[in-house]
Amino acid sequence: MRRNAGLFVAISLLSGFGSSAMALVSGIWILDLSGSTGLAALAGLCVYAPVLGGPWLGGLLDRASRRQLVIAVNLVLAGALLALLAVRGPGQTWVIFAVSCAYGISYVLIDAGETALLPSALSAAELGAVNGWRSSAQEGMKLVAPLAGAGLYSWQGGHAVAVLSAVMPILVAVLYLAVRLNRTPPERPTRRDRGLRDGLSVVAGQRSIRVPVLLAGVSIAMSGFVTAALYTIVVTDLRLPTTFLGLLASAQGAGSVLGGIVVGRLLTRRGPVPVGLAGTVLFAVSCLARCLPWWQATVAGAVVAGVGLPWTLVAAVTAVQTHAPTALLGRVAATANTAMFGPLVLAIPLGSVAVHLGGRPPVLAATALCLTAAAASARDRWPLGNTTRRRHHRPAADDHHRQPSPTR
C-alpha cells in the first residue's frame, strides 16, 4: 500500500505541474495574440464548459475499467497539447481554445475516475493521509509551475510550454500502469441504477452533500467571474506586466498548501459544512483585498483565496465520498463536479462583460454573493455539523476522506 501511496503522490505532482503551467500560459498567450483581456478569460470557459456533461461522462466510470479509462484520457490529452505547436499567430488562437476544451473533458473524467479508483488501491485507513499528501503536492505545484510556465513562455514562447505540459500526462499514464489494485473492485451498478437521474438524486436529495456542493459552486463560480476583472486590475489599474499573473498564481498556490495541511483535521473535527462555509468567507475576504490599490494587497488576497477555494472544494468532495453509494460513486462524483464547476460556463463570460464597468465592481459583486451564500448556509451549520461529527465517531471507513484534485 505504501507503494501505491507514493505513486499517487507522484501522479499529483506531475499532473499539478502540467495543468498549472498550461492554465496560466493559455490566458497569457491569448492575451498577447489578441490584446483582449475578455478573450483571455474565455480560455477558462473552454476548460470548464465540458463539466456540464459530467453526469453522462461519470456513467462511463461506473461501467468501464476505471484505470484503463484514466490512462487513455491522459494519453489523448498529451496529443491535444502537442496540437498547440500549430499556433503561429492570431489566426490560430482558436487552437488554444480547442485544447482548453480537451483539458476540460479530461478534468471531468480524471477527477471522477480518481475519486472512484482510490478505494480500490488504498485501504480505508490510508485514504485520509494519502489524500492529504496528494492535495498538498498538487497545490504545491502552484508555487513552482506558474512561475516556471510564465518564465519559459517569456524565454521560448508558448510552444515550449506546450511540449513540457504534454510530457506530464504521458508520465502520469505510466505511473497509473504501476499502481497495484489489490482491493475488491467497487460494486457495479445494476440495470436499475444506470439512469442519469441517479447521480442527480443523490447530490440534490441529501442535505449533507447538497449544502457543501452549493457553497463550493458559488465560490468557484465567483472565482471565474472575477478572472477578467483581475486581469484588468493587474494590467490597467496597477500597471503591472502580464507575467505578474504568474506571481499571483504562485501566491495562491502557497495559500493552497497551507490550507491543505490543516483541512483534513478541520474536516475531522467540524465536518464538511463548517469547512465549506469558512472557505467561502475566506474567498470573499480575498476579493476585498484585491480591490485595494496596492500590489501587496493583491498578492495577499491571492494567498487567502488559495486557502479558501480548496477548503470549499475539499469539503464538497469529502461529503460525496462520505455519503454517496459506492456503486454510483463515479456518476455522483461527476455530477457534483458539474454542480460545482458548471456555473463557470455562465460566470466567466458574464465576468468578461462586467469588466467593462472596471476591475473593482465585478470583484465587489462576487464578494457580496459569496457572503450571501455563506449566510444562507450558516443556518444548516449546527444540524449538519453535529451529524457529521457523529459520523466521525463511527468505524474507520467513515473517518477517512479523499481530497480532490486541486483548483484548476
Cβ atoms within 10 Å, residue 276: 34
How much is the pLDDT for 224?
87
User: What sign does the CA torsion over 27, 30, 35, 38 have?
Assistant: negative
pLDDT score, position 1: 58
Dist CA 286 CA 301 (whole Å): 4
Contact between residue 216 and residue 71 where contact means Cβ atoms under 8 Å apart: no
- Looking at residue 79, what is its pLDDT? 93
Structure confidence by residue, pLDDT tens digits, 310-357? 888 888 877 887 777 767 777 787 788 888 887 877 888 888 888 888
Contact 87, 160 (CB under 8 A): no
What local confidence, expressed as pLDDT, does residue 383 receive?
Answer: 47
Exposure class string for 190-228: b at 16+ Cβ within 10 A, else e: eeebeeeebbbebbeebebbbbbbbbbbbbbbbbbbbbb
Which pLDDT score is estimated for 131? 63
Q: Name the grid cell of 318.
A: 469529502
Q: How far, CA to CA in Å, does 367 sit from each of 64, 219, 280, 289, 305?
A: 42, 9, 10, 10, 12
Q: What pLDDT is attached to residue 196?
A: 61
Q: Measured between alpha carbons, how far is 268 from 237 in angstroms, rounded to an integer?
A: 42
Q: Is 8 helix (H, G, I), strand (E, B) or coil?
A: helix
Low-confidence ranges of the chain (pLDDT < 50): 184-187, 189-194, 382-408
**Considering only CA atoms, which of 44, 55, 19 is closest in space to residue 338?**
55
State residue 203's pLDDT score: 79
Q: Which ranges of 122-157 does DSSP label H, i.e. alpha helix?
A: 124-156
Pair 286, 325: CB distance under 8 Å = no
What pLDDT score was predicted for residue 380?
56
Quote the CA–CA distance of 230 and 98 in Å, as a whole number: 24
Task: List alpha helices for 179-294, DSSP H.
Answer: 196-205, 207-225, 227-232, 244-270, 272-290
Which pLDDT belongs to residue 68?
86
Q: What is the secondary structure of 70-121 as a DSSP string? A: HHHHHHHHHHHHHGGGG--SGGGHHHHHHHHHHHHHHHHHHHHHHHHHHHHH
Rounded CA-CA distance 158/306 in Å is 26
Dist CA 363 CA 256 (whole Å): 21
